[in-house]
């Protein structure tokens, strides 16, 4: 069981590293917002794996908080982008 | 025994979904394709891990928290995806020539005068570009 959990943690870590690469590279801010959403979802899955590995479900409250506020970042990025003047480059 | 196998299988499936999303984020060419890849860990991967946690801790409080997490995730993720896709379309991040069907273009383009009446009470030139200014 611990080998399975270790493999799952390795896969999740790799997924987080890949989305972090997109977060750094991503040509527009919207790509970064999407990558940030994936990173939050990966963190929540990692918290679930941690709860099983530690045999203690106390981190589920953190998962609840993340599922509540995880979408705020990309929503606010998208809102600010739409208010920009048309034709303005948002790459920064 | 069965619970242990089910837990391990669900955790591995969820982690695999997250990995596929990471690969898709890095490899896919444009924003909408990346959004398509990004939905995998947000819905399927996380639900798999939640099922695994629920099988591992079958108590009332944990199951309630897991159901709440699943419900909140499944309601907030489409909001974020909708806002990102809307911003992408309106700032020209969506390459139009790659779309087979673009219903939003028809809905947003101003109707030329005399090209037919709209069923609503609005004038033919009032529904053009300005929905951007309101929302």
Mean of the per-residue pLDDT values of chain B: 81
Mutate to test the interface with A, among B80, B108, B134, B135 (most CBs of A within 10 A): B80
Domain segments of chain B as ranges: 2-110
Cβ of A15 within 8 Å of Cβ of B77? The answer is: no
Mutate to test the interface with A, among B23, B25, B78 (most CBs of A within 10 A): B25
What's the rounded Cα separation, in Å, for the pair B64 and B98? 44
Per-residue pLDDT at B90? 82
- What average pLDDT does this structure show over B75-91? 88
In this complex, is the C-beta atom of A39 within 8 Å of any C-beta atom belonging to chain B? no
B26-40, B70-84, B103-117: range with lowest mean pLDDT: B103-117
What's the rounded Cα separation, in Å, for the pair B62 and B57? 7
Domain segments of chain A as ranges: 2-83
Q: Which of B84, B94, B30, B109 is nearest to A82 (CA)?
A: B84
Cβ of A4 within 8 Å of Cβ of B66? The answer is: no
Q: Is A6 helix (H, G, I), strand (E, B) or coil?
A: helix
Q: Is the pLDDT of residue B116 over 60?
A: no
Report ipTM for this prediction.
Answer: 0.84
The answer to whether A8 and A49 have CB atoms below 8 angstroms apart is: yes
In this complex, is the C-beta atom of A67 within 8 Å of any C-beta atom belonging to chain B? yes
- B36-54 confidence digits (pLDDT tens): 888 888 889 999 999 999 9
A62-76, B6-20, B107-121: range with lowest mean pLDDT: B107-121
> Tens place of pLDDT for every residue, chain A, 92 residues?
788 999 999 999 999 999 999 999 878 888 899 999 999 999 999 999 999 999 888 899 999 999 888 888 888 888 887 765 555 554 54
Cβ of B14 within 8 Å of Cβ of A8? The answer is: yes
């Amino acid at each position: 069981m611990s080998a399975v959990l270790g493999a799952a943690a390795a896969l999740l870590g790799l997924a987080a590293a890949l989305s972090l690469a997109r977060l750094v590279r991503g040509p527009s801010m919207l790509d970064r917002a999407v990558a940030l959403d994936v990173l939050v979802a990966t963190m929540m899955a990692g918290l679930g794996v941690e709860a099983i590995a530690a045999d203690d479900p106390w981190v589920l409250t953190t998962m609840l908080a993340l599922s509540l506020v995880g979408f705020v970042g990309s929503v606010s990025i998208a809102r600010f982008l739409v208010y920009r003047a048309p034709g303005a480059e948002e790459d920064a | 025994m069965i619970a242990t196998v089910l837990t391990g299988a669900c955790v591995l499936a969820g982690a695999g979904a997250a990995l596929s999303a990471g690969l898709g984020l890095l490899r896919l060419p444009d924003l909408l394709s990346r959004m398509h890849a990004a939905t995998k860990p947000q819905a399927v991967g996380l639900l798999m891990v939640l099922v695994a946690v629920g099988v591992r801790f079958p108590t009332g409080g944990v199951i309630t928290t897991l159901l709440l997490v699943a419900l909140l995730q499944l309601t907030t993720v489409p909001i974020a995806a909708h806002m990102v896709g809307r911003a992408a379309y309106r700032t020209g991040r969506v390459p139009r020539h790659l779309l087979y069907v673009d219903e939003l273009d028809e809905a947003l383009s101003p109707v030329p005068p005399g090209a037919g009446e709209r069923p609503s009470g609005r004038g033919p030139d009032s529904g053009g570009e300005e929905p951007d200014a309101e929302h």
